[in-house]
Structure 1
Amino acid sequence: MLPKNQRLRLSQDFTATVRSGARTGRRNVVLYARVRSDEPQGNNRFGFIVSKAVGNAVHRNLVKRRMRALAKQFSADATGLDVVLRALPGSAGTDWNDLSQQVLSGLESVVRKAGAKHEKGS
């Protein structure tokens, strides 16, 4: 479980990140990120979207646990980002190594894009 200060909890935060943040996609996951203007050097906050299209509750929870573990590894670099990870239907059948490679490469890409988007907007 991620600490409370590292979780996106409000629907406004999810909406703002998905609509105005940088986006990148991988085979089984789509990632969105935006730099928070209110707390630019704070902790990264993560949110997860896993719909019923991914599978039954057992499969959805497995995917969420895996994505939380990957987010916890990535959260060591505090840069003040809001990140949303959206699981696509194929993510339930993906093994740990493949999903971790997709999420971590996607995180690197979306963080780079969010930083560039923030610099351009400033």
Structure 2
Amino acid sequence: MLSTAHRVRTATDFSHTVRSGTRSGCRNVVLYAVRTGLSEPSRFGFIVSKSVGNAVTRNLVKRRLREAAASALVQRPVGLDVVVRALPPAAAASWSELSSDFEKCLASSVKRFGRDGRRGGGR
């Protein structure tokens, strides 16, 4: 479980991250990331729509993504806002596939910050 300090909670923060962040997609997820101040903790938000499956399936996907985010916090505890959108194939994905896609997309987004200096101002 992610603590409140590590969750994207408001609609404004979600839309800011999705609209102005870097976008990276894989088979199971699309990840949007934006840099924040170095003194701010990294925060994660999740979008899992009904197209992924029924409530039980959506909750399973969310729990798996939250766990992947918790392990990412160990490596990047400050400076990022991340929104993860689960795609319909995520419903049938195993834990290893889902976490692999999450890590791959996050690494790709973070790598883009170094190349593209205009991405990622604060809020």
TM-score, normalised to structure 2's length?
A: 0.90
SS at match of 1:33: strand
Residue 6 (structure 1) aligned with residue 6 (structure 2): yes
The residue aligned with 1:86 is 85
* Distance across 2 between alignment mates of 1:84 and 1:46: 6
Residue 49 of structure 1 is matched in structure 2 by: 47
**Consecutive unaligned residues in structure 2, runs of 5 or more:** none
The more displaced of 60-69 and 92-101 is 92-101
- The alignment partner of 1:62 has SS state of helix
Separation of aligned partners in 1, 2:23 and 2:113: 8
- Displacement of 1:100: 1.1
* Structure 1 pair 115–44 and aligned structure 2 pair: CA distance change class (3 A): farther
Equivalences, count: 119
Amino-acid identity (%): 50
TM superposition shift of 1:105: 0.9
Correspondences of 1:60-71 after superposition (within 5 Å)? 60-71=58-69
SS in 1 for 2:81: strand
The SS at the match of 2:38 is coil
1:1-122 map, 5 Å: 1-36=1-36, 39-76=37-74, 77-117=76-116, 119-120=117-118
Supply the AA of the counterpart residue of 2:99: S
**What secondary structure is seen at the aligned counterpart in 2 of 1:104?**
helix
Distance 2:114 2:79 in 1: 11
Give unpaired runs (5+ residues) of structure 1.
none
